[in-house]
Amino acid sequence: MNVIVVGGGIVGLSSAYALAERGVDVTVCEKGSIGGGSTERAAGGIRAQFSTPVNVDLSRESMRVWDAFEERFGTDIDYRKTGYLFLARDEETAAAFEETVAMQNDRGVPSEVLDPDAAREYCSGIDPERFVAATYSPTDGVADPHLALQAYARAASDAGVDVRTKTPVIDVLRADGSGPGTDRDGRVTGVETPESQLEAEFVVNAAGPWAGRVAELADVSLPITPKRRQIAVVEPETAIPETDPLTIDLGSGTYFRPDRDGDALVGGHLADADPARDPGGYETSMDFDWAADVVERTSEWTTYFGPESRLKRGWAGLYAVTPDDNAIVEETLPGFITAAGFSGHGFQHAPATGRLVAELAVDGEVSLVDGEALSSDRFASGEKRTERNVV
């Protein structure tokens, strides 16, 4: 079997590696360079505290890989299990915490609901007077996306995957040879690049924020929208303990986590900072006005970011967002597999996603998680549950 993977980010390379492990001949077509897309701009969070069962299951399966990553791939990805701490300002959010933690516990996640004073035991810098409840799980954490991506790239190459950089896909080929606009039952048979046509039994669309455009080449409309997200590197006024969790105030939409050399990563989904952008022409540098705003908002509920805090640098990347903030992983057309729309969860869910893609191509169905929850059919049926879109 021959499979072409479109996209050389961590989802694409994890898929390529998983396929190669199943004995498949794999070619990866990456329009730029490995590490030039969204993966390297991720915050690196790895958590099982999700509000939908399918994402909890994806996390649990992925964590099995992350836990053994150094032994399996020979690379230390700076994986630190310092936890995630979610903070609620209102009773409605607190009530939702009870429901989601119960669901997480049923799936083996050791999360718990805390009162604000108990939450301070995990993050001493929060102001408990601003919150009514919190959730925490000690098995959540962070890792280095760059190191993980490079390790997958090496492993895929060692497994025989042909990784082609600077190789954009300009068309998706169909069985009748007429390309876009053909009968939707026409099987996808390969791709066209500027240099040649490549035949394959399956094409995997793992193009992240560009996945909607790749789908259009196959005459498919998928509700995947690129959205710009930013991260600031801040030297806080008060040093943040390295053991502090990634801490999120759901009320303001801001978060922080300790980083190297005493710095902190600070971010937030501020409504005025994340309009949909052209994935080919968005600004990759950080907006300093945005950064000043997000640090100020964070300082309102923590003691770490006083007036002497210093903005050092930052960056922007793209989320590939769906209407319910859940991914699409399916065989969208015969021979055309979609693995995209992770809405900020692509890095952490890449190991499990790679296995799902391999199952779809080799076995014809998925067994790892509930495949229906990841099908694009949910948007037409209305049977969807929105995931809480945070880092």
DSSP lists the bridge partners of residue 384 as none
Determine phi and psi for 3, rounding to 5 degrees: -130, 140
Q: Which of 357, 366, 363 is nearest to 336 (CA)?
A: 357
Q: What is the C-alpha to C-alpha distance for residues 326 and 377, in angstroms, rounded to an integer? A: 13
Q: What is the C-alpha to C-alpha distance for residues 192 and 203, in angstroms, rounded to an integer? A: 11
Does residue 351 sit within a domain?
Answer: yes
The one-digit pLDDT tens for each residue of the chain (391 residues) are 999 999 999 999 999 999 999 999 999 999 999 977 788 888 899 999 999 999 999 999 999 999 999 999 999 999 999 999 999 999 999 999 999 999 999 999 999 999 999 999 999 999 999 999 999 999 999 999 999 999 999 999 999 999 999 999 999 999 864 544 444 458 999 999 999 999 999 999 999 999 999 999 999 999 999 999 999 999 999 999 999 999 999 999 999 999 988 899 999 876 444 555 566 667 888 999 999 999 999 999 999 999 999 999 999 999 999 999 999 999 999 999 999 999 999 999 999 999 999 999 999 999 999 999 999 999 987 665 677 666 6
Whether residues 15 and 121 fall in one domain? no
**pLDDT computed for residue 181 by the predictor:** 43
Whether residues 233 and 134 fall in one domain? yes
CATH code for position 289 = 3.30.9.10
**pLDDT computed for residue 43 by the predictor:** 87
- The DSSP bridge pattern shows strands 202-205 and 336-340 to be parallel
Length of the chain: 391
Whether residues 193 and 262 fall in one domain? no
Number of folded domains in the chain?
2
Q: What is the C-alpha to C-alpha distance for residues 302 and 283, in angstroms, rounded to an integer? A: 30
Whether residues 212 and 231 fall in one domain? no
pTM comes to 0.92
Which one of 271, 290, 321 terminates a domain? 321
Whether residues 200 and 107 fall in one domain? no
Whether residues 305 and 334 fall in one domain? no
Whether residues 16 and 113 fall in one domain? no
364: left (phi over 0), alpha (psi -120 to 50) or beta: left
**pLDDT computed for residue 391 by the predictor:** 64
- The DSSP bridge pattern shows strands 45-46 and 141-142 to be antiparallel
Tokens 């502090």 map to which residue? Answer: 244
Whether residues 302 and 313 fall in one domain? yes
Does residue 175 sit within a domain?
Answer: yes
Q: Are 87 and 121 in contact (CB under 8 A)?
A: no
Sheet with 25-29, strands from edge to edge, namely 162-164, 25-29, 2-6, 202-205, 336-340, 328-333
Q: Are 255 and 248 in contact (CB under 8 A)?
A: yes
Whether residues 160 and 280 fall in one domain? no
- The DSSP bridge pattern shows strands 197-199 and 188-192 to be antiparallel
Does residue 75 sit within a domain?
Answer: no
Does residue 171 sit within a domain?
Answer: yes
Q: What six digits make up the tokens of 176?
A: 């009748």
Domain that holds residue 40: 2-63+145-223+324-381
Q: What six digits make up the tokens of 310?
A: 């210093």
Does residue 70 sit within a domain?
Answer: no
Whether residues 248 and 304 fall in one domain? yes
Whether residues 159 and 53 fall in one domain? yes
Residue ranges of E strands in the chain = 2-6, 25-29, 45-46, 84-88, 112-114, 133-137, 141-142, 162-164, 171-174, 188-192, 197-199, 202-205, 225-235, 246-249, 254-258, 264-268, 310-321, 328-333, 336-340
